Amino acid sequence: MNARQLILTGSICLISSLLLACGGASSTLNTQAPKVAGPTLRGTAAAGLAIVGATVNVKCRSGNGATKTAIDGTFEIVLPAGSSLPCVLETTNPGNSRTLHAIATSDGTINLTPLTEMLSTRLMLADMNKVFANPDFGDISKTATAGNIKAAQADVSAVLSGLLDTSSLSDFLSSPLKAATTANPGAGDTQDKMLDTLNLALANNLYQPLLNMLTKTTPGIMAFGRPGCVVMGEDGKSLSCSGPGLWETAARIDVFPAALILEPGGKQVITAKIDYLQNVEYIRQPVKWQVVEADGGSISSNGEYTAPSKAGIYHVRAQREDFPTLSATALVIVNTTSPGFVPTLSVAQHIVNVMPGGSIALKADINYPPNVEYLREPVSWSIVEAGAGEISLQGVYTAPTKSGVYHAKVQRDDFPSIYAVVEILVNYPPD
């Protein structure tokens, strides 16, 4: 090779080196490795309704995260790369300032509800506020095994057995949850309805004592709602966790009047009485009206009933839209011989609770024909089922010692075709 060839070859090598140094070669030589995200935790925060706009904080064995819940209570947290589980989650329900926790042992679905709070408390045998404040992930990893989580859920189900049946919910922590919202209070799924029942059946002053009990291994857990259940209250005194106090806030619906007689084509306004969820604003009363029989007349959205032209016995049903399983029915008798006076009969409550062997005064109300005087209220009470307890002439009901669902009937003496039936739940909170 002559000198001229050597100079040319060297120049080409020099140019090639400069191109490589300046990035002129293939871009694959300068590509950065893609960032790898850590585990993702997603779920729903709810306690009878979706918890909206609340901060969800997460602490993991390595890596932390935080986010806000959406309008339907859902949340999603993508943890930093290199994060590792288990994790402890926490949020606060602004409706009652209660904190809710859950323990995630794998990525994916993890909810925050009163049921996850109870399960986590039982699993760790500790106040979850303290666990979250200073988590010992070695202890959490050792304790939060699949077998221990299953056992903790069984214990919580046993505690709640007198309030609701949780057998249809296989996993309190990670079963998908669709929560009702203030805009659509009837949109929740089966798990959400379970939370509704728990929220309504458990008296407020028993929530924290229940959690405290779940941290104890002795003297053992008690079944709330069952006879003999006693827990330690916040004031250090014994507190009954059975009896009507558990059902003070249970959802109800009643119709007034409960029974009436109309002439064909006659009109009568029937009203519904319900109790409302706390911290929920309703645009209108969440009640849907329906005439049960196809030829039984019509009823407007505000409860104004118009009788059919044909005499007969018909029924008008008022159904709660926020609790679709709850309804009350009014008995309507259309009678061609009915006088201008419209006789009615109402009961104070269509559903009542009483403990086995306990007593409760049932109340009925009637209207009176003009210019007619009665020595006593013309109504008679009776028990529908055999062995379902006793009831006095004044409506004082004494329950049998056996729990169950029974019925009492009240009837007008002056218009015997008019009657109403009261459902009596003996040691059995309403769904």
Query: What value does the mean pLDDT take over residues 92-121?
Result: 95
Query: What value does the mean pLDDT take over residues 68-91?
Result: 96
- Would you state the pLDDT for residue 101? 98
pLDDT digits (tens, 9 = 90+) for 127-153: 999 999 999 999 999 999 999 999 999
Tell which residue, 225, 226, 250, 428, has the closest CA to residue 349: 250
Whether pLDDT at 117 is above 80 = yes
pTM for this structure? 0.56
How far is Cα 56 from Cα 65, in angstroms, rounded to an integer?
8
**Two tokens at 425?**
């739940």
Whether pLDDT at 166 is above 50 = yes
DSSP sequence for 127-183: -HHHHHHS--HHHHHHH--HHHHHHHHHHHHHHTTTT---TT-S-TTTS------SS
Query: What value does the mean pLDDT take over residues 277-300?
Result: 85
Query: What value does the mean pLDDT take over residues 199-212?
Result: 83
334 has which bridge partners?
A: 262, 312
- Going by DSSP bridges, is the β-strand pair 419-426/351-354 parallel, antiparallel, or unpaired? parallel
- Would you state the pLDDT for residue 200? 67
pLDDT digits (tens, 9 = 90+) for 234-243: 777 777 776 5
How far is Cα 353 from Cα 427, in angstroms, rounded to an integer?
7
Query: What value does the mean pLDDT take over residues 306-318?
Result: 95
**Two tokens at 226?**
């069952």
Looking at per-residue confidence, does 258 or 218 come out higher?
258
Whether pLDDT at 113 is above 70 = yes
Ramachandran area for residue 265 (φ above 0: left; ψ -120 to 50: alpha; else beta): left
pLDDT digits (tens, 9 = 90+) for 258-269: 999 999 999 999
The least confident of 166-170, 278-282, 333-337 is 278-282
Query: What value does the mean pLDDT take over residues 349-373?
Result: 86
Whether pLDDT at 8 is above 50 = no
Query: What value does the mean pLDDT take over residues 321-340?
Result: 82
Tell which residue, 117, 248, 113, 120, has the closest CA to residue 180: 113
Contacts of 237 (CB under 8 A, 6+ apart): none
Query: What value does the mean pLDDT take over residues 91-112?
Result: 94
Whether pLDDT at 4 is above 50 = no
How far is Cα 68 from Cα 77, in angstroms, rounded to an integer?
9
Cα 389 to its chain centre, rounded Å, is 31
Report the range out of 17-26, 84-93, 392-401 with the highest average pLDDT: 84-93
Cα 216 to its chain centre, rounded Å, is 26
How far is Cα 157 from Cα 196, in angstroms, rounded to an integer?
16
The least confident of 51-55, 73-77, 158-162, 202-206 is 202-206
Query: What value does the mean pLDDT take over residues 58-76?
Result: 97
6, burial (CB in 10 Å: exposed 0-12, middle 13-18, buried 19+): exposed
How far is Cα 129 from Cα 108, in angstroms, rounded to an integer?
23
Per-residue pLDDT band for 3 (boundaries 50, 70, 90) equals very low
Largest CA distance in the chain: 140
